[in-house]
Structure 1
């Protein structure tokens, strides 16, 4: 059985965006749908710690770090039945 190489998957596959920070805060079908929740979580983080790093990666993911805490909004490919049959 050959498993697909996760690193070779492209963002053209069905993708969800997961907002997390030690736990999953939400799963979104579109990056823009997570904007409000990301803003709220970033403000909560800033209320506890000073944000020392906020960056957007080439894949569109966003990472925010402050103190000993962090939040991230990252794309994750969804496994489809076609991939399971391969």
Structure 2
């Protein structure tokens, strides 16, 4: 059963999507980066723009995604597979 909880990492290229928003209000994409390292500076800058004290910051051990949250605002940097060809439904 524990094997079902383990997610398999997608094969192929990965991009890192930096987004920001408010709880329960959705969000917007700030940028898409080829590597996590390329997005570090923009992530820190976006987190600094949160107008409240940060109440939580964490990294997802499985995916490597990083998040910051303050008040009702958030910033996330998450990996997503890059789709390079048509997909069958």
Structure 1 unaligned regions, length at least 5: 1-7
Name the structure where helix makes up a greater proportion of residues: 1
Q: What do you get for the CA RMSD once the two structures are aligned?
A: 1.9
Structure 1 position 57 matched with structure 2 position 60: yes
TM-score computed with the length of structure 2 as normaliser: 0.76
Task: State the match for 2:15 in structure 1.
Answer: 16
Output the CA distance in 1 between the equivalents of 2:10 and 2:34.
13
Aligned length: 76
Structure 2 unaligned regions, length at least 5: 1-6, 21-26
TM-score computed with the length of structure 1 as normaliser: 0.78
Aligned partner of residue 84 in structure 1, secondary structure: coil
Aligned partner of residue 40 in structure 1, secondary structure: helix
Name segments (4+ residues, structure 1) moved above 6 Å. Answer: none
Output the CA distance in 2 between the equivalents of 1:67 and 1:84.
39
